[in-house]
Amino acid sequence: MTEFDRKRCFMQGRQLAPELLASLTESRLSESTDELQDKFAAEQYLFLKNVFPKTQIEAVRREVFGRLFEVGEVEAKGPEGIFTGVSHRHDVPEGLGEFWKSVSQGSALRTVSHGPHIQKVMDRLMGEPAVAHDYLFLRPAVPGRSTHLHYDSPFFARGSDRIVTVWTAYGDIPVEQGPLLVVDRSFEFTDLVEASQSVDYDSNDTPMVQLMQDPSQLALSRGVQLKTANFEAGDVMIFSMTLLHGSLDNCSPNGKIRLSSDVRWQPAADPVDPRYVGVNPPGTTGAGYGELNGAKPLTIDWHQR
């Protein structure tokens, strides 16, 4: 396991207290299904190492950064993913939403995010046939971007109550480049969990569900740790709707973009929220792929929800 530098973890410009930080528990697909299911039940997450081969991850980087190169956002067509600091994305004739839909439906990306390998993993972990939502949240995070702490349940309050998030690292993402962070045992914060479960987020008028509180203060007051890791290309985090999570600030000094996707999976036997299904999924608020942070030119700040 690569230890991470606890002094290099920031969220929204605030340095996280090094003594509150700890490593995510690592898991591997070579462990037995029982072991993996027990670990998920105990911690409500699985940090699965090396799920996808580097060649497939590289293909995703080439595909996505190739599209961002077309709109002037990255320096080269290849897999490097270095932000230029400018964007011509507003000029695409099809509009921002259609542009982002086509990037989000790229074949190399979908081969990883929705392909037979992850399908087998999710069938196995769920212990029954699983299905992925078609709607995919692709996140190219330039330096300065991060996601505030939140639970996912408000966005997936319809359909199945057994949904999980599958977050995939498309490239090495050391802590200074803004990987995922979870608040350990936050499924036990009954007040916060119940508050999040009372919200069915469906429009921009829904009150904000992200927590603006300093993550270190929150962890300190609840007596828990903040867990993250130096993610490697092809690592996957699977977590429940009742685990508080966000992402670290991307602090790359050379403009390296953090690339990840998150997709929801659920038992196929359960009803699926129609907002997240199909070639033109409406998305959380009905604005399709255009409502996502990823749909914004990389020069524009992310919204909070």
Ligand X SMILES: O=C(O)CCC(=O)C(=O)O
Q: At closest approach, how far in Å is the CB of 265 from ligand X?
A: 12
Nearer to ligand X, 125 or 180 (CB): 180
**DSSP codes, the chain:** -PPP-GGG-EETTEEPPGGGEEEPPEE-TTS-HHHHHHHHHHHSEEEESS-S-HHHHHHHHHHHHHHHHHTT-BS-SSS--BB-S---GGG-TT-HHHHHHHHHT-HHHHHHHSSHHHHHHHHHHHTS-EEE-S--EEEEE-TT----BB-SGGGG-SS-S--EEEEEESS-B-TTB--EEEETTGGG-HHHHHHHHT----STTSPP-SB-S-HHHHHHHHT--EEE--B-TT-EEEEETTS-EEE--B--TT-BPEEEEEEEEEETTS---GGG-SSS--TTTS-GGGGSGGGS-TTSPPP--
Q: At closest approach, how far in Å is the CB of 180 from ligand X?
A: 6
Nearer to ligand X, 36 or 136 (CB): 136
Binding site for ligand X (CB under 6 A): 139, 147, 152, 165, 167, 180, 245, 247, 260, 262
Nearer to ligand X, 35 or 200 (CB): 200
Nearer to ligand X, 13 or 223 (CB): 13
Q: At closest approach, how far in Å is the CB of 34 from ligand X?
A: 26
Q: At closest approach, how far in Å is the CB of 181 from ligand X?
A: 9
Nearer to ligand X, 87 or 177 (CB): 177
Q: At closest approach, how far in Å is the CB of 148 from ligand X?
A: 9
Q: At closest approach, how far in Å is the CB of 278 from ligand X?
A: 21
Nearer to ligand X, 92 or 195 (CB): 195
